[in-house]
Amino acid sequence: MKKLNAKFWERRWQEQQTGWDIGQASPPLMQYAERLLNQNPRILIPGAGRAYEAIALHQLGFTQVYVCDWVDSAFDHLRQTAPDFPKDHLLVSDFFDLPLSEELDLILEQTFFCAIDPSLRPRYVEKTHSMLKPGGRIAGVLFARPFPFEGPPFGGTKTEYETLFSSHFTILNLDISPDSIAPRLGNELFVELLK
């Protein structure tokens, strides 16, 4: 089993092995988040990488968007593309060490959950739950099936996710996303979870 520590991810970024990167803000996440502009929610995008969604939301006028990644250089794209994005909203940290407690309205999930070791999934559930305000939500996409190779990415099934998340969240949506990019269409579930 690979050790998915900061070094592992730094190497992936240095060697430009970023095959997960879809080169644009993820349509299902954007369609969900854009509707919330008037509320200007406090949003975290964990394992954000090039953070296309954060850049797009920032450009739409959202002012409370935070991104977290273990690898500082992952944010180079954001720094170059959105130089006025608040520097203190770039959280270079292990997601599991973020010192946030009941502060977020929304966590946007785009290929972070699938990047962590599956043994950490219960911790992901606890951590996201602890960072969200009561009534806060997770929204985003999860792969709809397991992969026939060792991850990352690590997939899963709707049933597995239901069992995992229902311990802490009310599941509002967990169905195939109609808005995924073409290569992932049919292979992603849109997830919306309520604390």
Question: Which residues are at the interface with ligand SAM (CB under 6 A)?
Answer: 9, 20-21, 47-50, 68-71, 74, 94-96, 110-112, 115-116
> By C-beta, is 20 or 168 nearer to ligand SAM?
20
Q: How far is the CB of 110 from ligand SAM (least distance, A)?
A: 4
Q: How far is the CB of 174 from ligand SAM (least distance, A)?
A: 19
Tokens of 111: 């290929």
Pick the closest to residue 70 from 112, 28, 27 (CA basis): 112
Residues 22, 60: Cα–Cα separation, whole Å: 20
Which residues make Cβ contacts (< 8 Å) with residue 153, sequence separation at least 6?
Answer: 20, 111, 114, 115, 143, 147
> By C-beta, is 4 or 164 nearer to ligand SAM?
4
Q: How many helices (DSSP H) and strands (DSSP E) are in the chain? A: 6, 7
Q: How far is the CB of 167 from ligand SAM (least distance, A)?
A: 21
> By C-beta, is 23 or 135 nearer to ligand SAM?
23
> By C-beta, is 21 or 166 nearer to ligand SAM?
21
Contact 65, 54 (CB under 8 A): yes
Q: How far is the CB of 13 from ligand SAM (least distance, A)?
A: 7
